[in-house]
Amino acid sequence: MLTIAVLTCSVLFQFLAVLYALRLIKLTGKAVSWILISLALFLMMIRRAIPLYYLIFTKLPYPSNLISEFIGLLLSIFMLLGIMGIKQIFIARQKAEEEGKRSAKFINYLSKYANDFIILLDENFRFIEVNERVKDFYGYSHKELIGMHASQLRASETKEEFVNQIKIAQLSGKALYETIHQRKDGSTFPVEISLRAIQSEGKRFYQAVIRDITERKEAERSLQESERKYRELVEYANSIILHWTNDGKITFLNEFGQRFFGYSAEEIIGRHVIGTIVPTIDSVGHDLIHLMDQICDDPIAFEKNINENILRNGERVWIAWTNRIVRNEQGEITEIMSIGTEITELKRAEEEIRELNTSLEKRVAERTAELVIAKEQAESADRLKSAFLASMSHELRTPLNSIIGFTGMVLQGLAGPLNEEQKKQLGMVRGSARHLLDLINDILDISKIEARQLNLMSGIFDLRKSIEKVVQIISPLAEKKKLRLSSKIGDNISEIRGDQRRVEQIIINLLSNAVKFTDRGEIKLDCHADDESITLSVTDTGIGIKPENLHIIFDAFRQVDSGITRVQEGTGLGLNITKKLVEMMGGSIHVASKLEEGSAFTVTLPKI
């Protein structure tokens, strides 16, 4: 039984070896070799399958040696393991070849499309291979470049230095330098060349990586120009530029500052600021010894400061300083940059202005006191005038009322018959008296208002009836001029609390003005109310008012037509009194007007 087991394992291992050998045909591509190996393995498998067959399926004795069969089993195992190892070797080799191809592809791609120009040269510095960027940038074809000498890319003015530069690479195996290259079209540009020697197959090659540094050179030139301008600005600026350390030692003073203070650079560098350009005590007596320490301790507070300085000849000057702190990586103050501008004349001017302001303020205060006294005297005189006129109300009105009354009696024929001429003359006397009485009434009203002696009454009255009464009074005047006078009173207009006489006076003034300044057309009165106020408006189709005159129509004794040729009579007090009465009632009055089209006056009174 042990012999059968050994033979069975041998046949199985040899069969697996045949299968692996056949699979290596595809893997290695060597069909004949592996077919012969597979055939040999197959015959060896048959060699052991025959005794196994006799031992299992027949009773015939078959000569076999267990030791030799066991050795055959070991050989079968070693052959299987060997073939499996060969397969792994080929798989690993195949992967390595594929990785090498991929790496070579990527390297070729990188070199071909790199931004830099990559050239492979032989030991005589002739081109063996170039990447795509070389062909695109220099303008040569690949055929023209291969075999070209490196010096042929040089600009004519740099060819002499070529030999010295490549000697460095020949001796040390590498070199880095800058030069000027020339394209096929003759244009030149600066380049940086990194040259490295390569040993391969007993030969020496050179790899050149060339970089266009046009932008870098332009940036360097711009930086140099900027630095030159900065140096000129610092050195020749009309400002003092000072650098000093955190312990107060001067490290830099520009040329303007040197001329200003009277020191040369050698004389002032290294000296302490205090005692050199800043006095220990200023003219006012302020101690400046610790000024530098104060600036370092609180840079924000001293970012801008003004202090007295001292020139080499001892002259004191005032300078406005702007201080900027410079710190190291640890945040420690290493240097302070100060920029100063002399303001001595400005300080003197400020002092003169301060003295002048003090004097001016004193004079203004004195003059203001005088004006206050004059104003009080004027107001007192005005109040006395208004009080006098208000107190003279009875004495001025009584004679005029008598004239008007007696003239009326005579005109009625109570004193005897009159002829037409007498009636005409007496009518003129009564008209003039009435006009004079209206004028006196207006003057007395405005005087009482200004003297604050006009008191508004407060009582309940029917506003609708008051409006209708005033319309009836004004209607004859409108009819005389053939004007249509209409009124529209809202349904919610009824009893209100206020001064009935003054409200009616306001309405009479507005309607009288409308009739006076309207020659044709109509006059409309509209009154309506809401929850908070009553609005009354009078609209006419009269002569209108120019826009530039709208602001003066409410002034006392002012009329738009105030010349000697004016047509309409009047004192110019009606609208002024109306406005003051409205405002005393807590209301407002507004006017809208167009020349030759008419005017609209709107009064708004609060509901009480």
Task: Name the helix (H) or strand (E) containing 102.
Answer: helix 66-113
Residue 547, exposed/middle/buried by CB under 10 A (0-12, 13-18, 19+)?
A: exposed
% of the chain residues with pLDDT over 70: 86
Give the right CATH number for 457-606 from 3.50.30.10, 2.40.110.10, 1.20.140.10, 3.30.565.10: 3.30.565.10
Q: How far is CA 394 from CA 162, 433, 547, in A?
A: 126, 16, 41
pLDDT given at position 592 = 94
pLDDT band of 519, cuts 50, 70, 90: very high
Residue 121 CA to chain centroid, in angstroms? 58
Query: Is the per-residue pLDDT at 396 higher than 80?
Result: no
Cα separation, 178 vs 149, whole angstroms: 18
- pLDDT, tens digit, 9 for 90 and up, residues 427-483: 787 767 766 777 677 777 777 777 677 788 889 999 999 999 999 989 988 999 999
Q: Which fold has domain 114-212?
A: Beta-Lactamase (3.30.450)
Mean pLDDT of 22-33: 72
Mean pLDDT of 478-503: 92
Instruction: Look at 22-26, 278-282, 546-550 and tell me which has the smallest mean pLDDT.
Output: 22-26
pLDDT given at position 313 = 93
Cα separation, 417 vs 411, whole angstroms: 9
- pLDDT, tens digit, 9 for 90 and up, residues 320-379: 999 998 888 888 888 999 999 999 999 889 888 988 888 888 888 888 888 888 888 877
Cα separation, 568 vs 407, whole angstroms: 25
Six-digit token string for 6: 């050994």
Cα separation, 114 vs 111, whole angstroms: 5
Question: Is residue 605 within 8 Å of residue 585, measured between CB atoms?
Answer: yes
Six-digit token string for 55: 């031992």
Mean pLDDT of 156-162: 86
pLDDT given at position 103 = 55
Cα separation, 550 vs 595, whole angstroms: 11
Query: Is the per-residue pLDDT at 132 higher than 80?
Result: yes
Query: Is the per-residue pLDDT at 385 higher than 80?
Result: no
Mean pLDDT of 276-301: 87
pLDDT given at position 61 = 60
Longest dimension (CA), the chain: 196
- CATH 3.30.565.10 boundaries in the chain: 457-606
pLDDT given at position 223 = 87
Question: Is residue 581 within 8 Å of residue 502, measured between CB atoms?
Answer: yes
Cα separation, 140 vs 134, whole angstroms: 8
pLDDT band of 112, cuts 50, 70, 90: low
DSSP one-letter code for 565: T
pLDDT given at position 4 = 72
Cα separation, 206 vs 400, whole angstroms: 132
Q: Which fold has domain 350-454?
A: Helix Hairpins (1.10.287)
Write the single-letter amino acid at 497: R
- CATH 3.30.450.20 boundaries in the chain: 114-212, 221-342
CA angle 104, 109, 115 (to 5 degrees): 135
Cα separation, 29 vs 90, whole angstroms: 11
Question: What architecture (CATH level 2) is domain 221-342?
Answer: 2-Layer Sandwich (3.30)
Helix (H, G, I), strand (E, B) or coil at 334: strand
Cα separation, 527 vs 603, whole angstroms: 9
Phi–psi pair at 289, nearest 5 degrees: -60, -40
Query: Is the per-residue pLDDT at 540 higher than 50?
Result: yes
pLDDT band of 382, cuts 50, 70, 90: low
Mean pLDDT of 482-493: 93
Query: Is the per-residue pLDDT at 488 higher than 90?
Result: yes
Query: Is the per-residue pLDDT at 563 higher than 80?
Result: no
Q: How far is CA 378 from CA 365, 374, 382, 383, in A?
A: 20, 6, 6, 8
Which of 20-34, 56-70, 181-195 is modeled with the greatest confidence? 181-195
Instruction: Look at 127-141, 346-360, 389-403, 488-502 and tell me which has the smallest mean pLDDT.
Output: 389-403
pLDDT, the chain, mean: 83
Strand partners, 529: 534
% of the chain residues with pLDDT over 90: 32
More confident residue, 308 or 47: 308
Residue 43 CA neighbour count, 13 Å, CB half: 5
Question: Is residue 265 within 8 Å of residue 258, measured between CB atoms?
Answer: yes
Which of 75-84, 363-372, 556-565 is modeled with the greatest confidence? 363-372
* 89-118 core/surface letters (b: 16 or more CB in 10 A; e: else): eeeeeeeeeeeeeeeeeeeeeebeeeebbb
pLDDT band of 528, cuts 50, 70, 90: very high
Cα separation, 330 vs 342, whole angstroms: 35
Prediction pTM value: 0.38
Which pairing describes strands 522-529 and 484-489: parallel, antiparallel, or unpaired? parallel
* 438-456 core/surface letters (b: 16 or more CB in 10 A; e: else): bebbbbbbbbbbbbeebee
Count of H-run helices and E-run strands, the chain: 16, 17
Phi–psi pair at 404, nearest 5 degrees: -65, -40
- CATH 1.10.287 boundaries in the chain: 350-454
Which of 154-163, 267-276, 571-580 is modeled with the greatest confidence? 267-276
Six-digit token string for 254: 């520009």
Which of 173-177, 419-423, 426-430 is modeled with the greatest confidence? 173-177
Which of 99-113, 248-262, 438-452 is modeled with the greatest confidence? 248-262
